[in-house]
Amino acid sequence: MANQKVSQDTGDLVLNRISKFYGDFKAVDDLSLTVPDGSFFALLGPSGCGKTTTLRMIAGLEEPSQGTIHIGDTDITTQKPYRRNVNTVFQNYALFPHLTIFENVAFGLRRRGIKDVKTEVDKALALVELGHLAERKPGQLSGGQQQRIAVARAIVNRPEVLLLDEPLGALDLKLRRQMQIELKRIQMEVGITFIHVTHDQEEAMTMADTIAVMNQGKIEQMGSATDLYEAPRTAFVANFLGQCNLIKAKVQSRAGGKAVVTAKGHTFEIPLSRVSTENDSILLGVRPEKLRLDDKGVNSIKDCVVTDRSFVGTSTQYLVRTPWDLELVVFEQNDEGLHDLHVGDKVSLEWDPEHTFGLDGAQDVNAGADLDDEE
Amino acid sequence: MTTTAIPMPSLSHRAKRWISRNLIRIYAGLAFIYLFIPVAYTFAFSFNDAGKSNLIWQGFTLDNWKNPCGAPQVCSAVVNSLQIGILSTVAATILGTMIAFALGRHKFKGRSTTNLLIFLPMATPEVVLGASLLAMFLNLRISPGFWTIVIAHVMFCISFVVVTVKARIASLDPRLEQAAMDLYANERETFRYVTLPLVMPGIAGAALLAFSLSFDDFIITNFNSGIVSTFPKFVWVSSARGIPPEANVIGSAMFFIALIIVIVGQVVSRQRKKS
């Protein structure tokens, strides 16, 4: 009976061409997205990219200026937050300070008129391994414990979609790593659709099945962590996820499944399947760990100079200047094949064509670089 | 004569060191003495075996405490003050809390003006407020008495309630209410189960403040009370002839009741923190 005030059908979450304007500012700009039922989905982007606004529209805390939101066949675009079967884990957890942990977790069940809450609450607390703290107040818990309670408080309601708004942002690095694994485990156990908003690319890659990279209210690219990292389609994605070397180049020919491009008199090959533009002016991209300090390959640059070197444990990072004064980043694994190079040493660079990608050359080479440390 | 390697510090030097170490305690002690001398004086003279005047110590007696209503009209004045205090506290707290929510939570035309106007009664001298209220009541042909006092007290208490409750509302994290809505609580349930309990300490504080302001008020009351007596008015009127020691008894009793409330509150909140 009481459950009927909340929509119950399950299915994919579909955002259809939603926008959100604040005056002249477009926080979310004509965004369409389908999140399959039961998946772990991440919205990744720098602060101010519109990811939190998108999340709040799904939660019902903001209403879209345009577009519709569906879960399965139900249109929830203008439904009140307490009518939709969506729960949120807030950035600062937003636990009710005047209620015990037990009552915090029981809150949603009680509001839906469920009389026997004890079994469900105990189960939820057991899931986050904090059953022994049921009688405490939120103020007596550590940040990590509060975080788990926030998850339990949302999950106990068995929502169709669980929204997580930067839930690990306030935790220290070690605890964050631990909670990433924990959240992943909980998601697999309960099978609810998780939508995780974060500005931390590593967090998104660790946890999510599918990542949507957002920038300026739009989705730049969507795919698995591997897809986004190995085959980015925009300079923003290439730079925002990890580090990337981008070289301005011109396409000379597209034949035999490969594109031949030139940059400052050097010729490089890229598999055509990895060129995401029809434009002849392109950005040739290659990840730092794919570069080798050698000169045998098809794609190589000779007469480079090491300008910086830093040892970071698992690898050594070099900055290498090309003959035309472009600085490239090179990661070399610290194993037996290590070249022990120093600043000023002459080197050559080479890499495999299949590790190369071609992006539209009309973009800013630095788009998305150095953004992920903000906030 | 023997000479010691380390000379003993001189007496004045040690005294100086002692003073510089305990300066803050001495200062605090003096401040407390300054604050509590009037209370101690009132308390002591509540035991005075006063004849006509309670100005000169004439011997110890417990009679005043055994019969605090001994002086003519003192207890009816106290009862009036309590009734007025409770009525104006309830009215001012309810109205003030509603205004505070409106100002703290909603955007409407004239909000900043209202914010400013709410402060005005606090800034206006009480004599002026009292005199103009009396003029208003007389113009409306309402004869001053019990209810005009209540109306006047509600008026000046509201400002204090609004300011106190609004501060509490402002410190409330709006995400808590969003979380409640997210957890299936509609607007009314969100208010009932989250907003109100969290704002409650502010409302309680505002009510206590309103009561003490009302109970204590003399100036505005004196203008608008007609023949009705309140406790402050009783003390003022009788001061011409000499304040009866019963007034000291009632004053001291009020002080100790307030003290007990504060101590109980502290103990309860400390125990709550521990558990």
What would the DSSP string read from start to end of A89-130?
A: E-TT----TTS-HHHHHHHHHHHTT-S--HHHHHHHHHHTT-
Instruction: Give burial (CB, 10 Å; 0-12/13-18/19+) of A67.
Output: middle
Q: What is the mean pLDDT of residues A9-31?
A: 89
Q: How far is A158 from chain B (nearest CA, A)?
A: 11
For residue A141, is pLDDT > 90? yes
* pLDDT in the model for residue B11: 80
Residue A7: is its pLDDT beyond 50?
Answer: no
Give the pLDDT of residue B274. Answer: 66
Give residues with Cβ within 8 angstroms of A100, minimum separation 6.
Answer: A134, A135, A136, A137
What's the CATH number of domain B74-230, 1.10.3720.10, 2.30.40.10, 3.50.50.60, 3.40.50.720? 1.10.3720.10
- Cα Rg, chain A, nearest whole Å: 24
Chain A residues in contact with B184 by the CB 8 A cut-off are 5-6, 82, 108, 111-112, 157
Question: Which CATH fold topology does A2-229 show?
Answer: Rossmann fold (3.40.50)
- In the predicted model, residues of chain B with pLDDT beneath 70 are 1-8, 52, 273-275
**Domains A2-229 and A245-360 fall in the same CATH topology:** no
From the list B176, B186, B194, which residue is nearest A82 (CB)?
B186
- Judged against a pLDDT cut of 60, whether residue A374 lies above it is answered with no
For residue A129, name the pLDDT band (cuts at 50, 70, 90): confident
For the cut 50, the answer to whether the pLDDT of residue A205 exceeds it is yes
User: In which band, very low, low, confident or very high, does the pLDDT at A190 lie, cut at 50, 70 and 90?
Assistant: confident
Which residues of chain A lie closer than 8 angstroms to B198, CB-CB?
A: 96-98
Domain A245-360, CATH: 2.40.50.140
Measured in angstroms, the CA of B123 and the nearest CA of chain A are apart by: 35
Tell me: ipTM over 0.85. no
Position B161 scores a pLDDT of 96
Residue bearing the bigger pLDDT, A167 or B152: B152
Q: Name all contacts of B175-179 with Cβ < 8 Å and 24+ positions apart.
A: B175/A90, B175/A91, B175/A92, B175/A94, B176/A94, B176/A96, B176/A97, B178/A61, B178/A81, B178/A88, B178/A90, B178/A94, B179/A88, B179/A90, B179/A94, B179/A95, B179/A96
Give per-residue pLDDT as tens, A253-282: 998 889 999 998 889 999 999 998 888 999
- Which residues have a Cβ under 8 Å from the Cβ of A205 and sit 6 or more positions away? A211, A225, A228, A229, A241
Q: Is the pLDDT of residue A19 over 90?
A: yes
Taking all residues of chain A, what is their mean pLDDT, rounded to a whole number? 89
- The ranges assigned to domains in chain B are 74-230
Q: Which residues of chain A neighbour B189 with C-beta distances below 8 Å?
A: 111
Q: How far is B266 from chain A (nearest CA, A)?
A: 18
Taking the CB of residue A137, how many other CB atoms lie within 10 A of it? Answer: 19
3-state helix, strand and coil shares in percent for chain B, rounded to the nearest 5: 75, 0, 25
For residues A237-242, average pLDDT: 91
Nearest CA distance, A101 vs chain B (angstrom):
14
| Chain B residues interacting with chain A (CB cutoff of 8 angstroms) | 173, 175-176, 178-186, 189, 193-194, 197-198
pLDDT of A6 strictly over 50: no
- Position A2 confidence tier, pLDDT thresholds 50, 70, 90: very low
Q: Residues A98-106: what's their mean pLDDT?
A: 95
* Contact across the interface for A96 and B189, Cβ inside 8 Å: no
A210/chain B closest Cα distance in angstroms: 25
What is the rounded CA–CA span in Å between residue A279 and residue A295? 29
Domain extents for chain A? 2-229, 245-360
pLDDT tens digits, one per residue of A35-83: 999 999 999 999 889 999 999 999 999 999 999 999 988 899 999 999 9
What is residue B224's predicted lDDT score, i.e. its pLDDT?
Answer: 93
To 5 degrees, how large is the angle CA A364–CA A369–CA A373?
Answer: 155
Chain A interface, Cβ < 8 Å to B: 5-6, 59-61, 80-82, 86-88, 90-92, 94-98, 107-108, 111-112, 153-154, 157
What's the pLDDT score for residue B108? Answer: 87
Cα B225 to Cα A271, A278, B131, B218: the distances in Å are: 96, 91, 12, 10
- Half-sphere exposure of residue B97: CA atoms within 13 angstroms, side-chain side: 17
Label residue A367 by pLDDT band (50, 70, 90).
confident
Q: Quick one: angle between helices B245-274 and B231-239, nearest 10? A: 140
Residues of A in contact with B179 (CB under 8 A): 88, 90, 94-96
Identify residue B269 by its one-letter amino acid code. S
pLDDT at A10: 67
- Asked if B173's CB is within 8 angstroms of A82's CB, the reply is no
Contact A87 B185 (CB under 8 A): no
- Contact yes or no for A248/A365 (Cβ under 8 A): yes
**pLDDT at res. B5:** 59
Chain A nearest CA to B271, separation (Å): 13
Q: Which of A81, A91, A112 sits opposite B181 (nearest CB)?
A: A81
Arithmetic mean of pLDDT over chain B = 89
- By C-alpha distance, the chain B residue nearest A5 is B184
By the 8 A CB rule, do A328 and A215 touch? no
Residue A154 has pLDDT above 60, yes or no: yes
Considering only CB atoms, B184 lies closest to which of A91, A94, A111, namely A111
Residue A43, C-beta contacts closer than 8 angstroms, at least 6 positions apart: A51, A54, A55, A195, A196, A197, A198, A212, A214
Q: Do B178 and A87 touch (CB under 8 A)?
A: no
pLDDT at A150 over 70: yes
Closest of A316, A353, A319 to residue A337, by C-alpha: A316
pLDDT score of A371 more than 70: no
